[in-house]
Amino acid sequence: MTSDISPPAERPTVRLLPKANARAIRHGFPWVYANEMVLDRRTKKLEPGTLAVLEDSARQVMGLVAVNPSSKIAARMLDTDASAALDAAWFEVRIAKALDLRARLFDAPFYRLIHAEADGLPGVVIDRFGDTCVLQPNAAWAEALIAPLCAALVKVTGVSVVIKNAAGRTRALEGLDDVSGVLAGAAPQGPIAVSMNGATYLADVMGGQKTGLFYDQRPNHAFAASLSRGARVLDVFAHVGGFSLAALAAGAQEALAVDASAPALELAAQGAAAMGAEERFATRQGDAFDTLAALRSEGAQFDVVICDPPAFAPSRNALEAGLRAYERIARLAAPLVADNGILGLCSCSHAADLAQFRNASVRGIGRAGRRATLLHTGFAGPDHPQLPQLAESGYLKSLFFGL
C-alpha cells in the first residue's frame, strides 16, 4: 500500500446512486455503503484507501471520502472540503481538538484519545498511556497515511512512543494485514501502570488484548465499586481485573477474577499486589460459562457479580446467537448473587441495541428463577464520544440489577 495519496487536483470522483440517502450523509452520517455507490469498473479498480471526491446522484459535490471498493463500507467521509490536503497539519487539527477535550476530562494522560468517527478520524483508534500511544489504523485510508498521522500525533501530544496495533477485527474486512510494530520511539519494557478509580492496572500495550486496557468501562467500574464496600465480588471476563480491582480499591472484602487468559490474570494479580490488596484477591483461569456452572455447583455466593464478555454479536449476522449467549450468561450468573446482591451485565456488541441486550439479560435472570430490578444503565465514558448519526459508536451497555 502506498504511503502517499494523489493531491487534490488529481483525485478521482465517485458518485452516489439515486437511492442513497444523501441527506443523511450531508447531516453527518460518515459512511457510504457499497450498495449506495456507483461501483463501475473504474471505481472498482481504485486502491483501498484512495482519496476521492464524493458527488450525489445529481453530481453535486458532497466532500472528500476515502474509498475502499472491496469493503461493505465503500467510502468514509473525511472532510466536507473536497480539496482538503490530508497532510500532517490536517491530522494535527483533529488530534488537538480531541486532546483538548481529554485534558479537560482527566487529570492524567491515560484515556482514549481518538475514538474513530466521533473524533473526525474514521476507523482510527488511539489510546494513550502517559508517554505512550497505541494506534489502531482500522481503515485502509489510515493505513496509507500512517506516516503523517503518526507525525501529527507525536507533535500534538508530545509522546515519545507510538505503537501500531494491527489486531483489530475490522482490519481484515478492509483487506489489511495483522502486523503490529513500533512507529516511534522504543517499545516499553514490561506493562505500563495505569491508575483509575483508585485502582492500579497493568496494561500490556505490546501483546495484550486490544490496546492493553479497556478505558471505556471506567465509569461502570466506578459505579460497581460504589456498591462493593465490604462485599464479596466476582469479576467474570475480568481481563486485567477491571471491575475487581476497582472494587478492592473501594473496600471490597474479597474479589475473584475469572478469565480464560492466564497472562491477563497474572497482570491482574500484579495490579492487586501493587495496591496492597493481594490477600483479598484471587484468580481462576478457565472458560467463563464452565466456571460459572462450577461455582454454582460449589455453592459459591457473592454480593456483587459482574460479567463483561467480549462482543457476542459483533455483526448483524451474529445477532441471534449473540443474544442467546447474553441470556445464557445471565442465567448462569444470577444464581451466584446473594439475596439483596448486585448483578452487572455488560455488552460491547454494537449489533445488539440496548433494548435487545436488556431483554436477553432479563430473560436469563428469569430463567434462573430470580427476579430483578434495574438499578442503573451505564455506557462508555466521555473519552469514547458517540457520533449521534452512527449507532455503532454507542456500542457499550452496562446493566446493573438488584436481585
Q: Which residues are catalytic?
A: 348
Centroid of chain to Cα 269: 24
Cα Dmax for the chain:
71
343 in Cβ contact with 353 (< 8 Å)? no
Amino acid at 342: I
- Residue 285: strand pairing partners: 259
| 3-class SS letters over the chain | CCCCCCCHHHCCEEEECCCCCHHHHHCCCCEEEHHHECCCHHHHCCCCCEEEEEECCCCCEEEEEEECCCCCEEEEEEECCCCCCCCHHHHHHHHHHHHHHHHHHCCCCEEEEEEHHHHCCCCEEEEEECCEEEEEECCHHHHHCHHHHHHHHHHHHCCCEEEECCCCHHHHHCCCCCCCEEEECCCCCCCEEEEECCEEEEECCCCCCCCCCCHHHHHHHHHHHHCCCCCEEEEECCCCCHHHHHHHHCCCCEEEEEECCHHHHHHHHHHHHHCCCHHHEEEEECCHHHHHHHHHHCCCCEEEEEECCCCCCCCHHHHHHHHHHHHHHHHHHHHHEEEEEEEEEEECCCCCCHHHHHHHHHHHHHHCCCCCEEEEEECCCCCCCCCCCCHHHHCCEEEEEEC
Contact between 79 and 64 (Cβ < 8 Å)? yes
Of 141, 91, 130, nearest in space to 114 by CA: 91
- In the numeric block, which cell numbers belong to residue 345? 451485565
Give the count of beta carbons closer than 10 Å to the beta carbon of residue 355: 9
